[in-house]
Amino acid sequence: MADQTAQTHEQWLEEMDRKAREKQQSFIANIAGRLGRETAKPPAGHPYKGAPSFWQGFEWPMEERIERFSANFRSAGGHVVRVPDLAAASAFIAEKAKEMSAHYIVRQQEDALEALGLEEALPGCDVSVWNDDPGKPWKALAAQADFGVVLADHAAAYTGSLAVLSDKDKGRSVSLLPTVLMALLPVDRLVTRLGEILMPLDADGREKLPAGVHFISGPSRSADIENDLTIGVHGPGVVYVIVIG
């Protein structure tokens, strides 16, 4: 161990990686051998890829999607409201912030969320915008926040799930660390099946993937104490989806 500390961290990583790749050879060779071949070869095809074919075309009309999404999300302990536009969404968030005496709000850095004008709507609150200053301790800030405000990238009605994708302006922490999550969902982002969100991830290819793709289907929950449903043991205990449109 002593000589390792003399290495730079990069050198150490390189060394680990070299060993790992070497090990990979024998590890895979063993598997190939057990499967009765000398080296790993691509399969001829993947005949049973994805959901059964009867499922593929299945789609609900928009109104039914909204209804089903809401019912599913509520039965998981979440809340869903529907508003006509961003102004109404802003008013809703402001009203809830007052009702729950929220002081700290963190939101993703997105145009639609900028347009909410939360700073003006909530003069008493401290509203921060994720990563607008890379020098700040963003994770700790999010951990103290009462509200996290995000714009959902997608939602699936059949399971009642939101999908949020990370990037520099969209922290994974914003949908995770605050006590309350407020997620805006423009109706045109609501599809019927999970597969409609998952399959494009394949089609877009690995390079386009963000570090984190998170599906969220309600408030954080646990049933570990005597099967008694406990809400918010780690993630947000209160989750509102604000359907817009």
Partner 1 sequence: MSGNHSAATVKERAELALNDEFLRKAVRFTTERLRNGKKNASEEHGNWDEWRERGRQIRLHTIAHLDYYLNLFADNARANGAYVHFADTAAEAVQISLAIAARKQAKTVVKSKSMVTEELHLNHHLGTIGVEAIETDLGEYIIQLAGETPSHIIIPAIHKNRYQIADLLSAEAGERLEPDTSVLAGFVRKKLREKFLEADIGMTGCNFAIAESGSIVLFENEGNARMVSTVPKTQITLMGMERIIPSFTDLEVMATLLPRSATGQKLTVYMSAISGPRRIEDADGPDEMHIIIIDNGRSLQLGDPEFQELLNCIRCGACLNACPVYRHIGGHAYGGTYSGPIGAVLTPALKQNVAEWDDIANASSLCGACYEACPVKIPLHDMLVYLRRRKVESGHGNKWEGAGMKGFGGVMGSSRLMRGVLAIGRLGQGLVARDGEIRLSIGPLKEWSRYRVTPVLAKESFRQRWGTIERELREGLSELDPAMKKRMEAMKNARAGEGGHGHG
Identity of the residue, 176 or 243, whose beta carbon is nearer to partner 1 in the bound complex: 176
In the complex, minimum distance from the CB of residue 136 to partner 1, in angstroms, rounded to a whole number:
8
CA–CA distance from 140 to each of 45, 118, 145, 240 (Å)?
A: 47, 21, 9, 22
User: Is the Cβ of residue 219 or residue 241 nearer to partner 1 in the bound state?
Assistant: 219
CA 223 to chain CA centroid, nearest Å:
22
The least distance separating partner 1 from the CB of residue 36, rounded to whole angstroms, comes to 6
Nearer to partner 1, 236 or 243 (CB): 236
CB of 146 to partner 1, least distance (A): 14
Q: Is the dihedral of CA 113, 114, 120, 126 positive or negative?
A: positive
Q: How far is the CB of 167 from partner 1 (least distance, A)?
A: 7
Residues in contact with 183: Cβ distance below 8 Å, sequence separation at least 6, in sequence order = 149, 150, 151, 152, 162, 164, 175, 216, 239, 240, 241, 242
Q: Concatenated DSSP letters for 125-147?
A: SEEEETTSSTTS-HHHHHHH-SE
Residue with smaller CB distance to partner 1, 117 or 232: 232
To the nearest whole angstrom, how small is the minimum distance from the Cβ of residue 154 to partner 1?
A: 13
CB atoms closer than 10 angstroms to residue 42: 6
Closer Cβ to partner 1, 124 or 203, answer by number: 203
Which stretch of DSSP H or E encloses residue 239?
Answer: strand 238-244
Spatial separation of the C-alpha atoms in residues 3 and 231, rounded to whole Å:
48
